[in-house]
């Protein structure tokens, strides 16, 4: 596995505006990105990776995902379900405008707040 350091992508203005509207007092995810995003740049971790092979996932982004998972006390399957549910809710609507539910692959034990 190799490391090809890249800066964190910019958040589109519309996405940032929607996040501020949805979480007027802010939330942990946005605070982590805003306050720690620059502290954990990929270049700081490049020495831990080889120079050949398939590029690895950003260590900074993995740290953020792990911190959020820990803060919510989620298992790996619950975290995957939560992400899958949120992505589906944001991006997949049927013709009538109702939201579709993804097939569960881990368990039906996701906390109700994340469903």
- pLDDT, tens digit (0-9, with 9 covering 90-100), for 78-96: 988 887 887 776 665 444 4
Neighbours of 28 (CB within 10 A): 13
Res. 75: pLDDT tops 90 = yes
What's the CA gap between 115 and 111, in Å, rounded? 7
**Per residue in 8-30, pLDDT tens?**
778 889 888 888 888 888 888 88
Give me the pLDDT at residue 77, please: 92
Cβ burial, residue 80 (10 Å; 0-12/13-18/19+): middle
């Amino acid at each position: 596995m190799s490391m090809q350091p890249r800066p964190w992508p910019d958040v589109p203005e519309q996405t940032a505006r929607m996040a501020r509207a949805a979480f007027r007092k802010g939330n942990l995810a946005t605070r982590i990105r805003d306050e720690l995003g620059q502290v954990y740049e990929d270049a700081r971790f490049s020495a831990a990776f080889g120079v050949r092979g398939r590029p690895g996932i950003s260590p900074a982004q993995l740290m953020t995902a792990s911190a959020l998972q820990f803060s919510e006390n989620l298992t790996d399957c619950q975290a995957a379900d939560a992400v899958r549910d949120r992505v589906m809710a944001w991006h997949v609507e049927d013709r009538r405008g109702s939201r579709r539910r993804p097939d569960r692959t881990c368990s039906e034990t996701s906390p109700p707040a994340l469903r």
